[in-house]
Structure 1
Amino acid sequence: MTNKKTIKAEDLRSARWFAPDDLRSFGHRSRAMQMGLGPEDWEGKPQIAIINTWSDANPCHAHFKFRVDDIRRGITEAGGFPMELPAISLSESYVKPTTMLYRNMLAMETEELLRSHPVDGVVLMGGCDKTTPGLIMGAVSMGLPTIYVPAGPMLRGNWHGNVLGSGSDAWKYWDERRAGNISDEEWQGIEGGIARSYGHCMTMGTASTMTAIAEALGMTLPGATSIPAADSNHIRMCTASGRRIVNMVWEDLRPDQVITAASVENAVTVAMATGCSTNAVIHLIAMARRAGVDLDLNDFDRLSRTTPVIANIRPTGDKYLMEDFYYAGGLRALMSQLAPKLDLTCQTVTGVPLGETLEGAKVHNEDVIRSLSNPIYKEGSLAVLRGNLAPDGCVIKPSACDPKYFEHVGPALVFDSYPEMKAAIDDENLDVTADHIMVLRNVGPLGGPGMPEWGMLPIPTKLVKQGVRDMLRLSDARMSGTSYGACMLHAAPEAAIGGPLALVKTGDMIRVSIPDRTIEMMVSDEELAKRRSEWKKPEPAFARGYGWMFGRHVKQANDGCDFDFLETGFGPTAGEPDIY
């Protein structure tokens, strides 16, 4: 890591609060002294914000309550002064209707916390699904030196000697329970064994995907995202991150030097190789565009065609979890395998290029982290389909679905709401076969509201009892990154704004071709025009507050679901006049 001072103490941003001999700065200093601080705490020292997303409602971040002290120690050791600033926690486990509704709120909060406080750099503490993109989006827009500290995955789950993966095995065993194969007592045992330590999901779900993307972008210390939350190496990583951010302030190393078109392409490539969550598409588009990089769905599909999945981790893989991935060498080892496909000259928060951070990385288990010549799936994790049902695209994870659905024609079975679908799937007289394509609409960014993770429609109980475990499903919603199956998601434009998904009817034939990247409803243009003339726009979900703002400014899934007024290029932000 580098350690080169390029700015002077008097040029620190925080000095504008503490250094002047005027009444306003007198107030700043006196209130600091009210808390027991003195001039030695602010004079000539970088003031480092720690944006902490801990809360009692977020089990993934339970350890942040004391990890923040490890970060503080590193900041102090390096000659900085820590300032903890709590932010909305966004617990995937508890927030309704979905944390996606509030990702942009976290991004706004992060940006404004940094803008309004006397800080020179920031450590971001996140990990649970939406916290990684939300924190990084806000910090990128603010533009202060930034380092990301990931929560780390939880330990492997266990039940009756079976290794459990959070999310993935929940869906698996829930189907077995619906089929009558698991008792209430056994189900309680699974509940108690599937998540047995703090940390985020230990499958390659959205949390692990997004932290891996943060590292691939260059925003974390090398190897930081692979460390299990309960491992003592996680403590050392937190402290090292605290030390490093102080030097980043002196070096004036900011996100715009790290997140570039090349590092974003690296991040897409790494995501595809990990068997990433479908949510990666929405979040990385939003993060990239905050940095002025015009990433779109075509870039994901292009890189997916040339990047094999080499991380054998559930749900794409069939056996291993993130703890195994760490012991096998972690993300540094995976990126060393991908080196021929990466731009190794990209800057990282270490102050040295990506290539240098990968030196010495080794694979310790070649079944967990495969070579490019021995992948678990020959293409990348995701594919983008387009056609008259989704002209702006929809996303599927072919690496985690039954190959028999790669080419399929079947009738639609349409549901207009989640409650309607939920009631229908348990009806043993439901007119459905494994050839049907289940369609759930009005659950996108506006329709959801907030685009909940409802896109992995449960297999109807009638079919579950027949042994069916996968079928094609289509929606304008998202699905959990821990999910699997033949689910076509993020259909854009969404039904709630009159996208073609609003026009499909039960019985319409739909043709899907993953190799050709197409999805078409076999209905004439004349019939579709007639249906469009009869379509009525639904009432807004919110009439006030944050939801009202969300409904008027959120963009569609193919554009990352950011607010239009927050993207780079919308307009300048007010400065910081000396009078304040």
Structure 2
Amino acid sequence: MSAQSASPSRLRSEVPVGSPRWATRRAQWRALGLTDEDLTKPKIAIVNSSSGLAPCFSHLDPIAAAVKRSVEAAGGVAFEIRTVAPTDFIMSAGASGGYVLSSRDLLANDIEAVVEGAQLDGMVCLASCDKTTPGQLMAAARLDVPALILSCGYQSCGTLDTGERVDIEEVFLRAGGLKFGGITFDGLCDLSARAITGPGVCTGMGTANSMHVVAEALGMTLPGSAPVRANSEPMWRAVEASGAAIVGAVLAGRRPRSILTPAAFANAVMAVLAVSGSINCVKHLQAIAREADSEVDVYRLFEKYADTIRPLSAVRPNGEDTIEEFEDAGGALAVLKQLGDALAGEAVTVTGETTGDRVARAVVKDERIIRPLSDPRAGHPTVVVVRGSLAPDTAIVKLSVTEDRPPTFEGTARVFDDALSAIAAIEGGVVRPGDVLVLRGVGPVGTPGMGMASQTVFALNGAGLTEQVAVVTDGQLSGLVNKGIVVGEVSPEGVLPGPLGVVADGDRISIDLRARRADLLVDDAELARRHANRARHQVPGGRSGWLPVYARSVEPLPRGATLRGNDLPTTRP
């Protein structure tokens, strides 16, 4: 159209022609090469967390450029926007790991600031490392702007001279044995030098690949797009199809909240249980539900479906299968197909078809890798929500598909308020068989930002104490590897009023995974005395900076560890 003509507004990105806002936006966008005709087209954000800090993000720029071409070919206009790029292995070095989970919410806010501020019409989110996918889904649910999650793939890994496969999970686990002679320094260097041979996310069924599966189960991806090898032909096919999918969703008014229904969350929970996914998916799914203003209780869904949904696959580190074998067997869509009648097929997807429609076309190419629900890989759930007097709100235990673990443990508490002290005690022989190592003060408020507890678990493994010492912690556990009985993400966390904060050395703790309970065996009168004498908690950190703001705003884990601003009334165009 000409600068003087007008057209009826059909997109939220369009403003009244001739108004000051229209004139200034037109000036800015014409300077970028856009025409007056472009100003009437769907305006799509390409959400890119590209970063040179880690291989998870190092390949995203060419993908963003290809998505831009795809959007333009479909009749839209694309604007690349950047967000923070959280990566556990690199960013957990500072502030006891507090910048990792908290960056999930920072990423969601990055998206909000640009997409809402500019009133863009839709977005394609380049999903990569652990916190990007949940952060992108949270933003989509919060803004309710048509959105497509595009899985950008997992990395390739190497082999040792023996021919043994080695990946980042193996490096993370074996490093805990260095102090105890389980591996030499040169051997550890060799592992780390060979573990990653290309860009993309970690190769196992850790949080990144688990959340890519979740995104597909929720209906927020193109069908059959997760997991996928980074820079592979299937990944590039999805990139090329992304433009038509998002422009179609915008023109059809297909918004995330029409997709993120209770049925979709049920499918996602069943998918996590079926793939033995990361326990981090629990809080991420709850956070997405909170951002969508949904009443879905994800923790209760995990408790419900743990009775019937068993692991159908066993991808490393849950078993010996590789992520490549899982993808080749049909990936997330094949898992959903194997759920059979348990699947909520009526759930709609970003492309307008139902989940049932997608599943009807899916093919399970190898039932040895992705089994039917009638013939699971194990007879027990692998993501177990526990409660009890030690975890009156919630806690989570991750069980392996193959590892034979005792279903109960009772022992004597050995309490630590930071991970370094706990690791030093393990290395010094202070922690002994029969103990329950309690690591507290590393929750979302206590760190602040939620500290990483996995190093403590791996130190126990390196010391040969995995089956002889249980762990109870309010910290975050890696989605890659957990060994032994580890009760993680205990809520209320230790720095807040609750039983974890008053556990003392010598207390008896009982963990019964059959009953899904974790109990502090201390009488009520003694607990009341401890609570009465406990000093009031002060939020850690100074007055400035992101983490103190996060600590003052973060909700408890059973509410997804989202920020309290979600409770404020909102007005949307």
Q: CA deviation at 1:9?
A: 7.0
Match of 1:483 among 477, 481, 484: 481
Cα 1:285–1:163 shift into 2, 3 Å? same
Aligned residues with identical type, % of pairs: 30
SS, match of residue 201 in structure 1: coil
User: Could you say which residue in structure 1 is the equivalent of 2:75?
Assistant: 79
Q: Which residue of 2 aligns with 1:307?
A: 309
Contact 2:273 2:306 in 1 (8 A): yes
Q: Could you tell me which of 84, 88, 94 is aligned with 1:88?
A: 84
Give the match's secondary structure for 1:405: coil
Give the 3-state SS of the residue equivalent to 1:359 in structure 2. Answer: helix
Which letter does structure 1 place at the counterpart of 2:42? P
SS of corresponding position for 1:39: coil
1:367, distance to aligned residue in structure 2 (A)? 2.3
Offset of 1:157 from its aligned partner? 3.6
**AA partner of residue 534 (structure 2):** W
The 2-side partners of 1:226 and 1:202 are apart by 10
Separation (CA, whole Å) in 1 of partners of 2:400 and 2:296:
22
C-alpha contact (below 8 Å) 1:58/1:90 kept by paired residues: no
Q: d(CA) in 2 for partners of 1:464 and 1:55?
A: 33
Q: Deviations over 1:287-339 (max 9, x none)?
A: 012223223322211111210100111222x2122212111111111111113
Q: How many residues align?
A: 558
Residue-by-residue CA offset, 1:348-392 (whole Å, 9 max, x unaligned): 011111111122322222222122122122233211111111100
Q: How far apart, in 2, do the equivalents of 1:446 and 1:526 lie?
A: 28
Report the AA paired with residue 267 of structure 1. Answer: A
Counterpart Cα distance in 2 of 1:212 and 1:503: 38
What amino acid is aligned across from residue 508 of structure 2 in structure 1? Answer: M
Q: Using the alignment, how far apart are the partners of 1:403 and 1:471 within structure 2?
A: 15
1:480 & 1:395 partners in 2: Cα distance? 12
Is the CA contact 1:438–1:457 (under 8 Å) kept in the aligned structure 2?
no
- 2 CA distance for matches of 1:348 and 1:566? 25
Give the aligned residue type for 1:560.
G
Which of the residues 58, 62, 68 maps onto 2:58? 62
2:559 aligns with: 559
5 Å matches for 1:255-270? 255-270=256-271
Q: Deviations over 1:452-511 (max 9, x none)?
A: 2215623657x8455756641110111010022221011111111122111111221111
Deviations 1:183-210 (A, max 9, x none): 2222111001112211111111111111
Amino acid at match of 1:422: I
Contact 1:72/1:239 (8 A) holds in 2: no
> What's the C-alpha RMSD, in Å, of the aligned pairs?
2.0
The answer to whether residue 214 in structure 2 is matched with residue 213 in structure 1 is yes
Which residue of 1 is the match for residue 192 of structure 2?
Answer: 191
How many angstroms apart in 2 are the aligned matches of 1:441 and 1:397? 18
CA distance in 2, matches of 1:417, 1:181: 24
Alignment TM-score, normalising by the size of structure 2 = 0.93
**Alpha-carbon contact 1:51-1:125 (below 8 Å) kept:** yes
Distance 1:287 1:370 in 2: 29
SS at match of 1:66: helix
Partner of residue 524, structure 2? 525
Letter of the 1:20 counterpart: V
Instruction: Tell me how far apart the structure 2 counterparts of residues 467 and 565 of structure 1 sit (CA, whole Å).
Output: 43
Residue in 1 that maps onto 2:3:
none
Distance 1:182 1:421 in 2: 21
Q: 1:285–1:118: structure 2 CA closer, same or farther, 3 Å change rule?
A: closer
Alignment of 1:218-257 (within 5 A): 218-257=219-258
Contact persistence 2:157–2:194 (CA under 8 A) = no
The aligned counterpart of 2:277 is 276
Unaligned runs of 5+ in 1: 1-7
When residues 340 and 56 of structure 1 are mapped into structure 2, their CA distance, relative to the original with a 3 A threshold, is same
Partner letter of residue 140 of structure 1? Answer: A
Deviations 1:387-444 (A, max 9, x none): 111100110012358544311211111111122112212114x2511x2111100111
SS of the counterpart of 2:394?
Answer: strand
Paired amino acid for 1:162: E
Structure 1 pair 183–556 and aligned structure 2 pair: CA distance change class (3 A):
same
TM-score normalised over the length of structure 1: 0.92
Aligned counterparts, 1:347-386, within 5 A: 347-386=348-387
Alignment partners' CA distance in 2, 1:350 and 1:448:
41
Distance in 2, matches of 1:510 and 1:453, equals: 22
Q: Relative to structure 2, which stretch is displaced further, 361-370 or 122-131?
A: 361-370
Which residue of 1 is the match for residue 26 of structure 2?
A: 29
Letter of the aligned partner of 2:399 in structure 1? P
